[in-house]
A and B are shown apart, each in its own frame.
Chain A
Amino acid sequence: MRLYETGFLISPNVTEEEADILIQQMADIVTQKNGKMAKLEKWGKRRMAYQIGKFGEAYYVFFHYDGGPDIPLELGRRFRQMDTILRYLTLVKETQQNVRKKKKAVDRRRAKETAAGEPTEPAAEGGTPEPRKREEA
């Protein structure tokens, strides 16, 4: 199971009710395939930064869902068949937090220093905990 995000643009020559029906159909596909809809964003009609085809506006919809890889495939297949969908984009969301290694190391060292206590501050600055152990042995 993975978190996916699919955004798509519905052409503006569709009425709002029709667009809603279409969105509902797509949402049903997600639930049919044992997916869990986490969030459904409807931005409504919005001006695009550039024209796609002959349209200057589009309905923006974003799905956030949790499920297997067959859901985005099926959605993509449907989108390609429909003329009313101008664009779509599916992303796999990163579940693990992408923290930089360097920063992580610095944070860890700082935490260690604070845990070791203030009295041995100069010693902690001089070397890593490992050589100190050797000295003790």
Chain B
Amino acid sequence: MAREERSERGSYKKFFPPKKKFCRFCQRNVKFIDHKNVDILKKYIPDRGKISPRRITGTCAFHQRKLAEAIKRARLLALLPFVED
């Protein structure tokens, strides 16, 4: 029963293909992500303070690496939280 319900709920997906994700850094041709630019980094850490994965944000591998590094540096300088509760 439960499985049927779920399949019904998910059936809308058939008609609406998922929105294509893209890398926002590639779009702007960014080459260096600054750890001091907190406003940009904040978009990539949801409520909990974790770095959001590539499969959700659509960031390319190159920029995800740079982004993760920048976020970790910002955390050291207490610009971003390690954990948020």
Contacts and interface: CB of A to CB of B under 8 A. Distances in A.
Genuine A/B complex: yes
Interface of A: 7, 9, 41, 48-50, 52, 58, 60, 62, 87, 89, 91, 94, 97-100
B80 A49 contact: yes
Interface of B: 31-32, 36, 62, 73, 75-82
B73 A52 contact: no
B73 A9 contact: no
B55 to A, nearest CB: 20
A33 B77 CA distance: 26
Nearest to B76: A89
A9 B32 contact: no
B62 A49 contact: no
B82 A89 contact: no
A9 B31 contact: no
20 contacts: A7-B36, A9-B78, A41-B36, A48-B78, A48-B79, A49-B75, A49-B78, A49-B80, A50-B78, A52-B78, A58-B78, A60-B77, A87-B76, A89-B73, A89-B77, A91-B73, A97-B31, A98-B31, A98-B32, A100-B62
